[in-house]
Amino acid sequence: MTGPKRGSRGRAPKRNTAQGRGGITRDSTRPARERTPSREEGRPAESRPKREEGRTGVRAGATNPARRKPGERDDRGGERPFKPGPARQAPPKPAKKKPLPELKRVQLDAPPPDATFRDRDGETVTFPDSALKRVAARILTGKNKAWRYRPFSFPLFTDKGNEQAFHFDFYIYDAEDSVIRLILVVPFESREVWDRVGRFKRQYPMYAYELWTPERLHHLSGPRGRLGF
């Protein structure tokens, strides 16, 4: 009998065939001469893509436009003139600062140099060398203020630890003989004056003070001049 053996279920017997890696056998591999030619080999020479241009799109042998000198001709013909960019404009000149207007010097009607004044203690005080102090003493006397001229000084300590004596000109007292106002008469405000006054304010914040300049004296001598103490 030539039929299949019992129990084989109709399968053909396996043949002993040499196998390579991955189970590839000689029968399953197509011979090299029977391989299908690639697409490029089958195309005509004219239809193949040209590979003369590089990745940057510049033809072989052409000059890189970035490296071309000004006025140099391109391979495709024509000359590209070099156009300089717009010139930078100069920054605007700063406006000249206008000089500060000069303060109008006020004319004070000062008492004569030999004029005498009486302080809180009834003592006679004169100011022959300062017309501004004579005007200040006249204002305080006319307002019935109890004042003394430089009865004591205030010790001020500088940033280096040195001690300096600082005087105000007029010390105003109340009925209980307490200082309620300190007045410093100056011809004009200066950096040195504000430096000392600022140091005094930091070290003696309990005292109130005023600076009397010629403008301030002129205002207080007028009919609307009023003291704030």
Distance of CA 58 to the CA centre of its chain: 50
Residue type, 162: N
3 in any annotated domain: no
Q: Does 167 fall in a domain?
A: yes
Scan for tokens 């490296």, then name that residue: 67
pLDDT of the residue at 172: 93
CA angle (29 as vertex; 26, 30 as ends), nearest 5: 125
Work out the average pLDDT over 41-45: 54
Question: pLDDT: is 122 or 101 the higher one?
Answer: 122
Domain membership flag for residue 20: no
Tens-digit pLDDT profile for residues 45-93: 555 555 544 455 555 556 666 666 665 555 555 556 666 667 777 777 7
The chain-wide mean pLDDT, for the chain, equals 75
Q: Which two tokens stand for residue 221?
A: 């001598």
CATH number for the domain harbouring residue 179: 3.40.1350
Burial class (CB in 10 A: 0-12, 13-18, 19+), 219: middle
Q: Which residue has the higher pLDDT, 124 or 222?
A: 124
Mean pLDDT highest for which of 31-40, 93-102, 144-153? 144-153
Q: Kindly indicate the confidence band of residue 104, based on its pLDDT and cuts at 50, 70 and 90.
A: low
Average pLDDT of the residues in 184-192: 88
Antiparallel, parallel or unpaired: β 209-212 and 179-185 = parallel
Count of domains forming the chain: 1
Q: Is residue 160 part of a domain?
A: yes
The answer to whether residue 124 is domain-embedded is yes
| Structural domain harbouring 179 | 117-221
